[in-house]
Amino acid sequence: MVFRPKRRRMTPIGALVVSAAFLLSACGGGSDSSATSSNAPAGSASAASGIKLINPGKLTTCTNLPYEPFQFKQGDKTVGFDVDIVDLAAKKLGVTQEIVDIDFAVIKSGAALNAGKCDVAAAGMTITPERQKNLLFSDAYFDATQALLAKKGTGAKSLEDVKAKGLKLGAQASTTGLDYVKGKGLDPTEFADSPKELLGLQSGQADVIVQDLPVVLTWLKKPEIADKFELIASLDTGEQYGVGMKLGNDALAKVINEEIAKAKSDGTYEQIFVKWFGKKPGELGS
């Protein structure tokens, strides 16, 4: 708001008060930006862009935990690749990111966004024509590949081997990995989330499971997993992840797309990628 003084002479006391107010305002400019963002009303940066956020001063993200390294708990804080990607937009808007853990089926259907649970959904979510009927997706921010993780000694090297050998296959419910193997004529056991899927493999409910490659590689960093299980195949399904929003939320999509493009051009995206995957984009499966 622009201060417009009335056309009358200001008294010395009034001038002193105004001067003090401007001095305090100037001093406030040196404060910590993160503290300022956390207290910023939703109308500050967002209203200027035509963006209305569901919670004042916050960009609320729906996700499904854990899905390491995309989003998972580290102490009492949620961290991960997806978290850092959404943070780019949150910082641009001058707000902080708040994460809501919710069932993936409710996320991919658009129900969580339509119910006002969140502004965006970032959950390692593949862009598909079916999902685009219910969600507005950002530009792709990750090229995804599926993988097969099996107990050692199966002798399988492909989905065809899994089928030919009669091995028990597992998949996470409501995922493109599940859809992919079903499309290849397999009928996997479905698990509610990725931890339950891994537990199913460990307990013998499945001999092989299909899951996103980065998740499988993260599991295999743990000695207790690597000792008993192995990556037997990568499945190049041509998938890409996007940030989901409510249909019609074009203003927010514009900001997210601009920040993804900027990060890819100035090297920030590569830094985030290496931070969480240990390799540069394009090198993950090598």
Give the pLDDT confidence of 9-20 residue by residue, as tens digits: 344 434 433 333
Among the listed ranges 43-52, 79-88, 235-244, which one has the minimum average pLDDT value? 43-52
Average pLDDT of 261-265?
Answer: 98
* Nearby residues of 271 by Cβ (< 8 Å), 6 or more positions away: none
Q: Which domains does the chain have, with CATH numbers?
A: 34-141+242-277 (3.40.190.10), 145-238 (3.40.190.10)
Within 10 Å of residue 84's Cβ, how many Cβ atoms? Answer: 20
Q: What is the pLDDT of residue 237?
A: 92
Helices (H), ranges, 29-175: 33-39, 45-48, 81-93, 104-108, 111-114, 129-132, 159-164
Q: What is the pLDDT of residue 283?
A: 87
Give this prediction's pTM: 0.78
Per-residue pLDDT for 23 more than 50? no
For 115-149, the pLDDT digits (tens) are 999 999 999 999 999 999 999 999 999 999 999 99
Q: What is the mean pLDDT of residues 196-212?
A: 98
In the predicted structure, residue 208 carries a pLDDT above the cut 80: yes
Nearest C-alpha neighbor of 177 from the set 229, 135, 223, 125 = 125
